[in-house]
Amino acid sequence: MAQRVTHSHEKEVTMPVGIVIRKSPGVTRWAAWSWRAVALLPGAGPAEWRELRREGEAVEYHAATVQVELHHTQTEAYLQGISAKVPSVYVVMRNGAAAHRDGAPLDVVLATASPFEAQDYADTGEEIVEKVPMPEGLVAWVRDFVEAHHQDEEFKKRRRDKRTIGDAQDGIGDPRIPQMSDVYRAPVMARKGRLH
């Protein structure tokens, strides 16, 4: 029987995860090849575009191994991620400046279990963010961490100030203070202010 992993004393944990990228023929005449992150290898060792398997023209590579980090302050995001219909890790990639073996155009920047962090990267428009389903072991690792550190924030209703809503603010609308343009002063108030 597998022993349950606990992280009760660690506020931050990491796990090396291999990123598998699939190269397949492009579907348009403008892109000869399509490159997509398709799988994860939890606990993988270092690799740089090592070929894993070939099916016709399609090739899968262990492109890189990156550290997936979990922080105790981000458990809300991880909880949302593992509660999704398909729990996923988000792989963030960038168009590669260096030419890789087989002409791979991507550099793997990071992998995250936080959909919020992935959204931040997607919003910049500079990186490519792909959602890759989490293997069961990775889901269990994230779930154990969340159970050890997550605390629901108690909702606190904000109390209203005891001030009167109709109070004048810094002389605005006060007929005793002459002002050239007072958009808050009613015409009647303006005439009364001039009479005194």
| Residues 28-64 pLDDT 10s | 777 778 888 999 999 989 988 888 899 888 899 999 9
Q: Are strands 88-95 and 58-71 parallel, antiparallel or unpaired?
A: unpaired
Phi and psi angles of residue 22, each rounded to the nearest 5 degrees, phi first: -105, 130
What does the alpha-carbon distance between residue 132 and residue 65 come to, in Å, rounded to a whole number?
14
Answer whether 0.75 is exceeded by the pTM. no
Across the chain, what does the average pLDDT equal? Answer: 78
Evaluate whether 104 touches 63 at the Cβ level (below 8 Å): yes
- Residues facing 26 on adjacent strands: none
Can you tell me the distance from the alpha carbon of 78 to that of 32, in angstroms, rounded to the nearest whole number? 36
Residue range 93-110: mean pLDDT, rounded: 74
Distance (Å, rounded) from C-alpha 171 to C-alpha 158? 28
pLDDT digits (tens, 9 = 90+) for 154-174: 656 666 656 555 555 565 666
Percent of the chain with pLDDT over 70: 68
* Phi/psi-derived region of residue 56, left when phi > 0, alpha when psi is between -120 and 50, beta in every other case: left
β-partners of residue 32 are none
175-178: Cβ within 8 A, 24+ apart: none
Which regions of 72-195 does DSSP assign to beta strands (E)?
A: 88-95, 106-112, 128-133
